[in-house]
Amino acid sequence: MATNRTFTMIKPDAVRNGHIGAILEQINAGGFKIVAMKYTKLSAEKAGEFYAVHAERPFYGELVEFMSSGPIVAAILEKDNAVADFRTLIGATNPADAAEGTIRKRFATSIGENAVHGSDSDENAAIEGSFHFAGTDVFA
Ligand code: RTP
Ligand code: MG
């Protein structure tokens, strides 16, 4: 995957709270093009695998349980400087610290249930995109 891409998930809390449409609108308004997208649900096993990097953290069990608690929207987004610009658009991990107008400030409820995921590097964007999508499901 090219380095002008990032990977996102609209997390189970935001789906449950009816924010899919508003979040996708903000993603588009932010200049991101959706090149792959699906509505799906992670098994606990898949969620554990996706967040394996956090396996030793105290919140890992809670995170896996939450991420497999309901459906999500997974998507690959394209834009110049996609990874950094998307992290700016979503705001800080803890919505209490997130800048005004960011997706997490608007839609997240807590540090654990924080509405969206955004890849933290080009390398992880590529890994996470391929975790969810086959190359044939990506339309640039
Ligand atoms: P993400 O990977 O989901 O985009 O979030 P992030 O980079 O902003 O934060 P990260 O440190 O990678 O943490 C991954 C997710 O774990 C949950 N978390 N809970 N209870 C807690 O203290 C805590 N800390 C992190 C959040 O759902 C966070 O997004
Ligand atoms: Mg992260």
Percent of the chain with pLDDT over 70: 98
Reply yes or no on whether the pLDDT at 2 is more than 70. no
Q: Do the interacting molecules here have an ipTM over 0.90? A: yes
Asked about 117 being catalytic, the answer comes back as: yes
CATH value of 5-137 in 3.90.226.10, 3.40.980.10, 3.30.70.141, 3.40.50.300: 3.30.70.141
Q: What is the pLDDT of residues 32-51, one digit of tens each?
A: 999 999 999 999 999 999 99
Closest atom of ligand 1 to CA, residue 118: 4
Q: Mean pLDDT across the chain, nearest whole number?
A: 97
Are residues 35 and 5 in contact, defined by beta-carbon separation less than 8 angstroms? yes
Using most ligand atoms within 8 A of CB, pick from 67, 93, 113 the residue to mutate for ligand 1: 93
Instruction: List the residue whose alpha carbon is closest to atom 23 of ligand 1.
Output: 112
Contact between 83 and 122 under an 8 Å Cβ cutoff? The reply is yes
Model pTM above 0.95: yes
Model confidence at 1, pLDDT cuts 50, 70, 90, reads very low
Split at pLDDT 50, 70, 90, the class of 105 is: very high
Strand ranges inside the chain, DSSP E: 5-10, 33-40, 72-78, 116-118
Kindly list the protein residues whose Cβ atom lies closer than 6 A to any atom of ligand 1.
Answer: 54, 59, 63, 93, 111-112, 114, 117-118, 120
Residues, the chain, total? 140
